[in-house]
Amino acid sequence: MSNGSSNLDFKGRVAIVTGAGGGLGRQHALALAARGARVVVNDLGGARDGSGGSVSAAQAVVDEIKAAGGEAIANGASVTDFDAVQAMVQEAVDAWGRVDILVNNAGILRDKSFAKMDLADFRLVVDVHLMGAVNCTKAVWALMNEQKYGRIVMTTSSSGLYGNFGQSNYGAAKLALVGLMQTLSIEGAKNDIRVNCLAPTAATRMTEDLFPKEMLEAFRPEAVVPAMLVLAGQDAPNRTILCAGAGTFEAAHITLTQGAWLGIEAGTPEQLAARLSEVTDREGEAVPQSGAAQGANEVAKGMANAKRN
């Protein structure tokens, strides 16, 4: 099988990878460095639930990159601390003059069923995953606009896209990142800032309890890295949700059905209940290019029916 034509050479590029002290983030950092990128290896160095902190995990990855002949610096900023994140970006600019790639990978888990979940655990997970990505993205956004180039990868999850028992906080945060990506990809397009989402299935410290042992090898983090490289590369798509795990790659889409015009009458609620299967029928569904497309579909159907009447 051929490798295919590739623009996945990252020489001259500067990348920031958050949560890169272990697991998936470590593999992302190693892969970018191996292909020539200079990498800021960010990791708070906390436990899986976000407690504690030490820069030693990030430094170990930096040492690994340097031993292989690459360039990297370690950073221990918490992605929830905007001032620290801004300082991290400035550190990259001071060292290498630019930031081309941001991989928002940092995250924690506080799994419990919603009935048993403490609201503080809900807020913290949202703060790390969603606001952490917002902070890092905001810190590089003006720079990427100015240099007219940027590649941003948000790490979403099947738990956000499709749900997972015990992960209401994590799922809510992860799908929120898709919403963030949808708008930023529109706003960044004019300056060649491409924003995409990666939905990994990987056996890491965060997910080690979720997989039987025999599956751990197939779902090793390295299997997700090709999707990250494509989303971070020069020829990256824009507004794509790429799923990856165990050597398989898929795309997820938020679609809009054709729907049905029912009018605004006293009996419309009953009409909707009676015809709900028609409204939810996926035949001819589309992926709208912006939120306005939903309104356009509704106006078109309304006007078509007004003409008939």
- What are the φ and ψ backbone dihedral angles of 24, each rounded to 5 degrees? -65, -45
Q: Which of 96, 149, 170, 219 is catalytic?
A: 170
* DSSP β-bridge partners for residue 72: 39
- Alpha carbon dihedral 69, 73, 78, 84, in 10-degree steps, equals -160
Q: DSSP H helical segments within the chain, as ranges?
A: 23-34, 56-67, 82-96, 119-126, 132-147, 158-162, 168-188, 213-216, 225-232, 268-274, 276-279, 292-308
For the question of residue 149 being annotated catalytic, the response is no
Task: Report the largest interatomic distance among the alpha carbons of the chain, rounded to a whole angstrom.
Answer: 75
Cα atoms found within 13 Å of the Cα of residue 184, Cβ hemisphere only: 26
Q: Which residues carry out catalysis? A: 170
